[in-house]
Amino acid sequence: MYVVYHSSDSFAQVTAVSIVSLFENNKEMQDIEVFLIEHDISEENQDRIQSLAKKYSRTISFIPMPDINKQQNLGLQSIKSTWLYDSFCRMYLDEILPSYVDRVLYLDGDVLVNDSLKELWETDLEGKCAAAVTDSLGEEYYELFGLSQTAKYCNSGVILIDLKKWHEQEIGKKVAKYVRERNGYVFFMEQTVLNAVLDSQLYILHPKYNAFTLMLCLSHMEHMNLRKPKRFYCEQKIQEAVGHPCLIHLTTCFFTVNRAWIANNNHPARDNYIQYAKLTPWQNEPLLPDTRGLKKRFVDFFVQHLPKSFVLAFAGYLYRNSRVSRIRKEICLHSNTLKCN
């Protein structure tokens, strides 16, 4: 099994925890080779991560992060200061990884492996070049991103990719074309590009393969009332995913205070993270400092103390109206192909 991550030095510790969870829960797999596309990870941290390969008798190979934006002439524009263009590397894995890798599982560094990946790895993609889990995106966003009526917008934190078909279909060229037509402005960055380029050609996985934080924090009804997605999973499948997630994605969520690796967090998978963190070379180090500013602490306080129904209603309004309006204005401002009213 081939697994690929990408990470900067600041995220090396979190990614190492994910790698440990992968090794711990897949001991029955005869071969696992991990590729870590690294952006200036220090020699010390590379050595720490490499020690995990020796501990579990696995292979970890470091690949320097290419400048995708420059190499592919994408002209990317910043959406958020904390979002790096490095994330686009997953769109060009057929060019970055060794030629002998014909299928690969891409994982974000904040994904915890909670069970065997054998079933996922052996999934028949039915002729499609990639598989992922559907995100709970409101219908307004499908219209914003120009997706078809049959498309399902997927989260790009977990992607099973048939690299041979990916290369044959020249997905990289299609990615570049999509980004350039929008003058480099793509909200949700590579995730939106993945969905727009592949559209209905993504194989949809069971949500247990990417149980993101919103699934863990809200009931299915609360989730549906918040986002009002029309192309999401039924309650039974979400309950299956939450009850026994194979992959837990430690995404941000306004209902949680801090990420699972930061002090003072109340993330529902906090204990899972700590469990695996204790198996890494960072085992004796505390959680990262809580660096929230006054505004963020103020918002978190009220989210945690106001009635949940009120918070959901208010957040839902912002998500479906204010945010959509802001994104539409930005898309219209930067696009040279779309007509905006």
pLDDT of 216-237, one tens digit each?
A: 999 999 999 999 999 999 999 9
* Cα distance from N-terminal residue to C-terminal residue, the chain: 48
Q: Tell me, which fold does domain 2-334 have in CATH?
A: Spore Coat Polysaccharide Biosynthesis Protein SpsA; Chain A (3.90.550)
pLDDT at residue number 326: 84
User: Residue holding tokens 């099973």?
Assistant: 160
| Boundaries of every domain in the chain | 2-334
The whole-model pTM stands at 0.94
β-strand pairing of 202-204 with 130-134: parallel
Q: How far is CA 312 from the centre of its chain?
A: 23
pLDDT of 159-217, one tens digit each?
A: 999 999 999 999 999 999 999 988 888 888 899 999 999 998 899 999 999 999 999 99
Determine the residue type at 233.
Answer: Y
